[in-house]
Homo-oligomer: A and B are copies of this chain.
Amino acid sequence: MIDVAREAGVAFKTVSRVVNGEPVRRESLERVDAAIAKLGYRRNIGAASLRSGRSRTVGLLVYEISESFQLSLAQIVEAALAEKGYRLVVASTMGLGEREAEFFESFCANNFDGLIVLPSTVEQSYMRPELEAGVSIVFVDRPPKNLETDVVLAENREGMRHATEYLIAGGHRRIGFFSLKLDNYTGVERHGGYRDALDAAAVSYDERLVSEWPETRQQALEALDAMLALPSPPTAFLSGASPLAKRLLWAFRQRKITPPFVSYDDFELADLFEPPVTVVSQDSRRMGLAAVDLLLQRMQGDTTPPRVVRIPTHFIERGGSIMPEA
């Protein structure tokens, strides 16, 4: 920067002003721009943020970037922040809860201005010191545990209830439910929606029809077999999340069946299966924009109490019979 200043014949502070788009005399600006171009100068963001305390960078912490919803959210958040002049750095814990804290540390050590978190199922009280020290944090998808922050949620319960009602309307009374783990918000809510719909239709809840998070294709198949071996087996199936849907589609295929099936979460190629997969889709656009909106407000010093924003889901009916197979 000193070199540029010398080249342009101005003080190095003037160079700083030019680089930051602050007002300078027209002539200085041109001279500085020319010097920058000539010397191939590039501003060191690290040094700038060291001094100013701000980095114009936001972190996004997701637990599985390969899930269609989370990837889409990341893209939307990135675009929305770019528009406001912020960079986004994305980190994915790949389902390993213990990495969440690790990334959080790393984000803090890089003094990011804000953080958007899609939490895995661990608790987040370790974030409290930073939160109280003024770091802006917004949660998405699931609320924090042992922490108070803004949070953007999908209408998990409504969405799952709607999916269940759809199958019930098709005449099903025995509906197998492949659930997320019930130790976290989304798992509990979606399971709750399933149960709500059963209750409303006076269909009795049978826990033998619920499989909690089979972790592999093989486990999903075993759970499916167990349900099919019941005296009164399910005639339709629900999945609580896209990874489950993929395992279950594999299991259906092993058994050469194509029962009526609806999944929470859309996923790529869901429409290309035979029959295509009807889904409850989360609105990643609205959720992402809401999260950015809340975050920017906090970063601008808003200290009102934490808010909860709920975004409705969309039911995407892709055809395929919903009638029992006979």
State A123–B40 Cα separation when bound (angstroms): 19
- Interface 9-mer from A159-167, A180-188, A191-199, A245-253: A245-253
Total identical chains? 2
Does A90 interact with chain B (Cβ within 8 Å)?
yes
Is A45 within 8 A of B109, CB to CB? yes
State A249–B50 Cα separation when bound (angstroms): 51
Q: Which residues of B sit under 8 angstroms from A106, Cβ to Cβ? A: 45, 87
Does A257 interact with chain B (Cβ within 8 Å)?
no
Which residues, 82 to 122 on A, are CB-close (under 8 Å) to B?
Answer: 87, 89-90, 94, 105-106, 108-111
State A110–B135 Cα separation when bound (angstroms): 21
- Interface 9-mer from A139-147, A268-276, A310-318: A268-276
Given A50-B50, A268-B246, A43 contacting B273 (CB threshold 8 A): no
State A94–B273 Cα separation when bound (angstroms): 26
What is the minimal beta-carbon distance from A121 to any residue of chain B, in angstroms? 21
Is A46 within 8 A of B43, CB to CB? no
Is A90 within 8 A of B90, CB to CB? yes
Q: How many residues of A contact B (CB 8 A)?
A: 35
What is the minimal beta-carbon distance from A153 to any residue of chain B, in angstroms? 24
State A304–B84 Cα separation when bound (angstroms): 43
* CB contact between A111 and one of B44, B50, B87, B111 (< 8 Å): that residue: B44
Does A66 interact with chain B (Cβ within 8 Å)?
yes
Residues of A near any B CB (own CB < 8 A): 40, 42-47, 49-50, 55, 65-66, 71, 75, 87, 89-90, 94, 105-106, 108-111, 129, 246, 249-250, 253, 268-269, 271-274
Q: Can you report 27 A-B residue pairs in the complex whose CB atoms are below 8 A from each other?
A: A40-B129, A42-B105, A42-B109, A43-B109, A46-B46, A46-B49, A46-B55, A46-B109, A46-B110, A46-B111, A66-B66, A66-B71, A66-B268, A89-B89, A90-B90, A246-B268, A246-B269, A246-B272, A249-B272, A250-B271, A253-B272, A253-B274, A268-B268, A269-B269, A272-B273, A273-B273, A274-B274
